[in-house]
């Protein structure tokens, strides 16, 4: 009976989250008791469980036991156990503390064992897992990835998210590897998380931390892919490293940590798009959302690390995107931004019966690419047209595109669909053809200017934003002056400008020398910003006197009690006084605008960075564009 009770207890352990690995050569077992800590999700305070493990030569008593129950254990007859079985006959087995369950017996010698759970204590079906804290750096794509991670973790039973790392058992930090400055910020945070791990007991004792056990630190994203070995070797600072294509593996990786190992999966995929995962929205009750439509990048620009951290391009099926946008519409979302590393190279071949050869792929006039398209399916213009027609009261934006993928068809769709915002992000990076060639961008300065002219011809009153890098390898003062002149010629509504920072593994790292001094880079960056401010103010000023359709996002932080703020179609920030105005949607009854309303605003003032106006009426987007008249073109005389 004692031996049977012991086997039953051990078999009960087998059917829990951990199993036992007992080798044939194991002849001496140490049997001990230990109390379940709170993090073990014990159903009964103070419950003590009975376990068996093999002690390696010279090994001290350790708290862990794991993995698989060997067939040899049931067949072996250990003298030690037989002689001591009477000592354990009165000890309750693990089954006394477990809910009623049905076990599938796989071992022949245990198949006749009858497990009786009739007297067990009832516990919840799903025991709580660790609490999560998450932090994201870098692009909006990383924010969307974090929403995917939270969805995966929620499905695995990790339901609770906390606002501070001191209260979490699992800390996710989603990283960016585009620039060195972003990586340095991540290392600083990792040092603090390491402090929370290393000094956990004292932190809890002093009230600084309320986590139930030392937190597991998980590094996600591009930095995880680029510096995986360095991160794991950093003095036990990190427990799990997971690349952008391996998020489905996170629950397993965390279980490996429970077994005393470090978890790592940074394999890139040619297929993973997470199309079947419904992201857990980080911003609750928001009227805007981001939807990822493709992943990876094939452009191989010489300065960029993205193809090495995010892999090759692959696109989500159109139907999965339409389905996700439909769910967002039901939740009250009024504006969706479509995301991708090279969003306008979208190419869905999943639903096309006869896939065309990629030789028919059309680029912008004067642009080229080193990457060859094998098959051509539904392109970005097809996706935009489908979304705009199915959701006529929802606005659509997209980022980040590449200038090479603006064929005429895409421009005409943007012109004809009023709910596709008249704003294009057109990264230039440099105004020098010489530098653009070293950057492997696939176009010249003149080709870029010609594209700007064509875009503004097809889509009048369009806002353009851009990216610029100053101080790239070999950039001369003449090259820099050409970039300044490009900024003035185009007249951007907004721009991201950075001093170049060399990234390992890139084409530039292998072939060029980062030979522009830091001081020169910073001086050139300052000059870029000044040139941008000179031209962008004119675009804002030109909107004074016009009527803009503004999607209300919330109170204006500068006057939260009296003013609301939102974005116009071109992406300009517009504030206005919150007063009762006619609601055209409900036959003209007056009310104060609220978050999510479309409001007609007459612009009366420009600060050259934002606009201010008088609210006229609450309306529907379709009604506004049906009634609107042509307005003076802004910045259309440029380029």
- What are the tens digits of pLDDT across the range 380-406? 999 999 999 999 999 999 999 999 999
Residues 588 and 610 in one domain: yes
- CA-based radius of gyration for the chain: 30
Give the DSSP per-residue string, 493-557: SEEEEEE----TTSHHHHH----S-HHHHHHHHHHHHHHHHHHHHHHHHTTTT-EEEEEEEEE-T
Give CA–CA dist 542/549, Å, rounded.
16
From residue 595, alpha-carbon distances to 125, 288, 564, 566, 599 in Å are 40, 11, 9, 9, 10
Residues 180 and 235 in one domain: yes
Q: Identify whether 52 is part of a domain.
A: no
The pLDDT score that the predictor gives to residue 253 is 95
| 3-state SS, residue 236 | coil
Q: Identify whether 51 is part of a domain.
A: no
Please say whether the beta carbons of 403 and 365 come within 8 A.
no
Residues in the chain, pLDDT under 50: 1-127, 630-639
The half-sphere exposure of 253 on its side-chain side, counting CA atoms within 13 A, is 25
The pLDDT score that the predictor gives to residue 120 is 35
Among 496, 517, 540, the domain-final residue is: 540
* Beta-strand relationship, 463-470 and 423-425: parallel
Burial class (CB in 10 A: 0-12, 13-18, 19+), 632: exposed
**CATH code at 441?**
3.80.30.20
**CATH code at 587?**
2.40.50
The half-sphere exposure of 110 on its side-chain side, counting CA atoms within 13 A, is 24
- 179 CB neighbour count, 10 Å cutoff: 17
- Sheet containing strand 335-339, strands side by side: 288-292, 335-339, 395-399
Which H or E run contains 198? Answer: helix 180-198
Q: Identify whether 22 is part of a domain.
A: no
Give CA–CA dist 593/586, Å, rounded.
13
- 332 CB neighbour count, 10 Å cutoff: 12
What are the residues facing 240 on neighbouring strands? 218, 263
Beta-carbon contacts of residue 253 (< 8 Å; ≥ 6 apart): 218, 240, 242, 263, 264, 265
The pLDDT score that the predictor gives to residue 363 is 92
Beta-carbon contacts of residue 418 (< 8 Å; ≥ 6 apart): 621, 622, 625
Please say whether the beta carbons of 502 and 531 come within 8 A.
no
Residues 557 and 511 in one domain: no
Q: Identify whether 138 is part of a domain.
A: yes
Residues 344 and 486 in one domain: yes
The pLDDT score that the predictor gives to residue 398 is 97
Residues 337 and 254 in one domain: no
Q: For residue 537, what are its two tokens?
A: 């103010």
Residues 368 and 476 in one domain: yes
Q: Identify whether 413 is part of a domain.
A: yes
Residues 314 and 457 in one domain: yes
Give CA–CA dist 161/130, Å, rounded.
9
The pLDDT score that the predictor gives to residue 557 is 94
The pLDDT score that the predictor gives to residue 208 is 93
The pLDDT score that the predictor gives to residue 20 is 35
Please say whether the beta carbons of 302 and 438 come within 8 A.
yes
DSSP secondary structure letter of residue 477: H
Residues 323 and 413 in one domain: yes
Please say whether the beta carbons of 344 and 405 come within 8 A.
yes
Domain containing 613 equals 546-630
What are the residues facing 161 on neighbouring strands? 132
Residues 557 and 472 in one domain: no
Q: For residue 206, what are its two tokens?
A: 């002093």
The half-sphere exposure of 558 on its side-chain side, counting CA atoms within 13 A, is 7
Overall domain count for the chain: 3
**CATH code at 237?**
3.40.50.12160
Residues 330 and 205 in one domain: no
Residues 298 and 192 in one domain: no
Q: Identify whether 28 is part of a domain.
A: no
Angle at 222 (CA atoms; ends 221, 226), nearest 5 degrees: 125
Burial class (CB in 10 A: 0-12, 13-18, 19+), 188: exposed
Please say whether the beta carbons of 238 and 219 come within 8 A.
yes
Please say whether the beta carbons of 204 and 38 come within 8 A.
no
Q: Whose CA is closest to 128, among 40, 44, 218? A: 40
Among 516, 540, 564, the domain-final residue is: 540
Q: Identify whether 33 is part of a domain.
A: no
Angle at 481 (CA atoms; ends 479, 482), nearest 5 degrees: 65
Among 512, 540, 568, the domain-final residue is: 540
Beta-carbon contacts of residue 333 (< 8 Å; ≥ 6 apart): 286, 287, 288, 289, 394
Displacement of CA 203 from its chain's centroid (Å): 30
The pLDDT score that the predictor gives to residue 233 is 74
Give CA–CA dist 333/574, Å, rounded.
19
The pLDDT score that the predictor gives to residue 371 is 83
Which H or E run contains 628? Answer: none
Give CA–CA dist 122/577, Å, rounded.
58
Q: For residue 157, what are its two tokens?
A: 């039973």
User: Model confidence over 1-52: pLDDT tens digits?
Assistant: 444 444 444 444 344 433 333 333 333 333 333 333 334 333 333 333 333 3
Residues 364 and 327 in one domain: yes
Please say whether the beta carbons of 141 and 267 come within 8 A.
no
Q: Identify whether 465 is part of a domain.
A: yes
């Amino acid at each position: 009976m004692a031996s049977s009770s012991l086997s039953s207890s051990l078999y009960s352990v087998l059917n829990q989250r951990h199993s036992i690995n007992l080798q044939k050569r194991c002849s001496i077992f140490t049997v001990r008791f230990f109390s379940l800590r709170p993090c073990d999700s014990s159903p009964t305070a103070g419950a003590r469980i009975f376990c068996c493990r093999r002690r390696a030569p010279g090994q001290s008593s350790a708290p862990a036991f794991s993995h698989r129950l060997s067939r040899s254990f049931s067949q072996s007859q250990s003298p030690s156990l037989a002689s001591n079985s009477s000592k354990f006959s009165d000890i309750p087995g693990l089954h006394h503390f477990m809910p009623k369950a049905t076990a599938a017996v796989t071992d022949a010698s245990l198949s006749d064992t009858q497990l009786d759970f009739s007297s067990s204590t009832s516990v919840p079906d799903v025991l709580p897992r660790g609490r999560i804290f998450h932090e994201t750096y870098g692009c909006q794509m990383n924010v969307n990835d974090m929403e995917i991670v939270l969805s995966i973790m929620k499905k695995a039973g990790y339901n609770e998210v906390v606002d501070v790392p001191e209260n979490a058992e699992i800390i996710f930090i989603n990283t960016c590897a585009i620039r060195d400055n972003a990586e340095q910020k991540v290392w600083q945070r990792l040092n603090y998380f390491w402090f929370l791990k290393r000094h956990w007991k004292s932190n809890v004792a002093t009230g600084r931390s309320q986590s139930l056990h030392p937190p597991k630190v998980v590094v996600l994203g591009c930095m995880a892919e680029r510096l995986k070995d360095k991160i794991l070797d950093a003095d036990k600072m990190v427990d799990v490293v997971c690349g952008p294509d391996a998020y489905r593996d996170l629950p397993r990786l965390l279980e490996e940590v429970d077994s005393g190992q470090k978890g790592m999966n940074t394999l890139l995929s040619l297929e993973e798009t997470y199309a079947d995962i419904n992201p857990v929205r980080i911003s609750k009750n928001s009227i805007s959302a981001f939807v990822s439509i493709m992943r990876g990048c094939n452009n191989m620009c010489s300065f960029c690390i993205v193809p090495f951290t995010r892999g090759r391009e692959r696109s989500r099926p159109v139907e999965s995107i339409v389905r996700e946008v439909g769910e967002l519409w039901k939740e009250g979302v009024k504006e969706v931004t479509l995301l991708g590393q090279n969003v306008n190279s979208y190419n869905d071949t999943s639903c096309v019966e006869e896939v065309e050869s990629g030789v028919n792929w059309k680029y912008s006039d004067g642009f080229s690419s080193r990457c060859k398209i094998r098959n051509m399916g539904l392109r970005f213009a097809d996706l935009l047209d489908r979304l705009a027609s199915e959701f006529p009261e929802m606005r659509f934006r997209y980022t980040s595109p590449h200038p090479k993928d603006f064929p005429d068809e895409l421009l005409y769709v943007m012109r004809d669909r009023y709910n596709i915002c008249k704003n294009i992000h057109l990264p230039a990076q440099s105004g020098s053809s010489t530098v653009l060639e070293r950057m492997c961008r696939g176009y010249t300065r003149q080709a870029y200017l010609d594209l700007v002219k064509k875009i503004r011809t097809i889509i009048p009153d369009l806002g353009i934003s851009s990216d610029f890098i100053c101080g790239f390898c070999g950039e001369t003062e003449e090259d820099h002056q050409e970039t300044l002149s490009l900024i003035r010629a185009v007249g951007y509504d907004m721009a991201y400008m950075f001093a170049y920072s060399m990234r390992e593994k890139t084409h530039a790292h292998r072939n060029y020398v980062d030979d522009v001094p830091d001081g020169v880079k910073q001086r050139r960056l300052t000059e870029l910003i000044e040139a941008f401010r000179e031209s962008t103010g004119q675009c804002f000023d030109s909107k004074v006197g016009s009527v803009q359709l503004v999607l209300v996002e919330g109170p204006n932080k500068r006057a939260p009690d009296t003013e609301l703020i939102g974005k116009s179609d071109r992406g300009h920030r517009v504030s206005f006084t919150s007063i009762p105005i006619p609601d055209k949607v409900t036959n003209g009854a007056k009310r104060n605008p609220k978050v999510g309303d479309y409001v007609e605003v007459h612009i009366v003032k420009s600060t050259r960075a934002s606009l201010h106006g008088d609210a006229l009426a609450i309306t529907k987007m379709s009604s506004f564009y049906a009634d609107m008249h042509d307005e003076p073109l802004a910045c259309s005389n440029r380029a």
